[in-house]
Structure formats: structure tokens, C-alpha cells
Structure 1
Amino acid sequence: QDQWQLVWFLRFVHHGLDLQAGMDAALFHSVHFQGSFYPRECKPGEMMIEPSVGEDTIAELRARGHEVTVAEPWSVGRLTAALREPDGLLRAAATPRLMQAYAVGR
């Protein structure tokens, strides 16, 4: 979770993507560190990435020594975000991945 949120946040703050565009862009995560949940596996040097990042990027990651698992399209990450603009307007976004989240306001 924390990895997906960081990727989204950096896209939002440093690359100017809006809430939804940052979530819709290809996601990835490292499985290098021990997982939080059972069986608490760790796989040093491995990562999972969505294929929409592009074959060239995946090939370059492998060339740099990463063990890359290409996930099914639209299957990495579960994110939602909400933002209140200075004028009070609420904005929200939710990932379309695995159809598990919605952005609803009132």
C-alpha cells in the first residue's frame, strides 16, 4: 500500500498529474522487503509492474538486474484520494483496478 501511495503522490506533486491520472498510470511495487501479511515473504531484487509501462521500460529494468514480474493489466495497486480545494470544492479519485474502489462525494 505504502509503495503505491508514494508513486501516486510523487506523480501528483512533482509531475502535475491530477488525482485520477496519477492512479490510472502504470503502477509497480517492490517485493524486496518482508511482506506485512502471512507468509511474510521477501524476494530480494524482485518487483511487480503493470505491462502498460511499456516493453522498453521492462527490458531496461531487467537489463539493470531487476527480476521483473509483469502483472495482469490493471491489477497492481488499490488507491483512493480526496482533496479539498481552497475554495471548498471537493475532488476525489479511485482506482479502476479490480473494481474495488469508488470516488463519491456530496
Structure 2
Amino acid sequence: MSEYHYVFVRPGHPRGRLRRDISAACGAHLHPVDAEFIDYAAGLGHAVIEVELTHDYDADHGIPFGRHDSLNTVRPPWLPERHRSACHPFGGMTAM
């Protein structure tokens, strides 16, 4: 099962309503994030939700992703031990 879950949303305007609705649904305040693909995020303890107000996904397998201009991602929090275990194989491959 995927650890990342993507929800494509067509929020309409004003976009602030989307942020308030997601915050209310998650019970956490979405705060602005200075990242390339993430506009807002909130930590939920057991998960992180990230909001992109725009994305570059095109239609794929007949799914019109472009009609839904915002993307919400729910993922597990980055835990140091998870990061180390994910990086270990890549470190070995780059040493080759």
C-alpha cells in the first residue's frame, strides 16, 4: 500500500476557503511553507498534509487531473530512522 495519498481538488475561489476547510477537517492549522511544490502544510503527529495550490499533472489513463487545480498530499511524517533506512541503499549504489 502506498504511503502517500493524493487528493486532487477543484476548490474554486477564494482559495483561503480551501485552506480553512482542510484545517477544519484535519484539526490542525495549515501554515505557509517555503518549498518548491508545497504551499501549505500541517503536521498531524501520525501524518503530514501538504497542499499545492497548483500542479503540473496532465490527464493520465483518462483521468483529467488538470481539471482539479489543487493537490493535497497525505504522507507519513519524516522520521530519522525511516530517512536513514531509505538512504542506506542509495549510499551504497553511489559508492559503486
Give the TM-score normalised by structure 2. Answer: 0.27
Higher relative contact order (CA 8 A, sep 6+): 2
TM-score, length-scaled by structure 1: 0.26
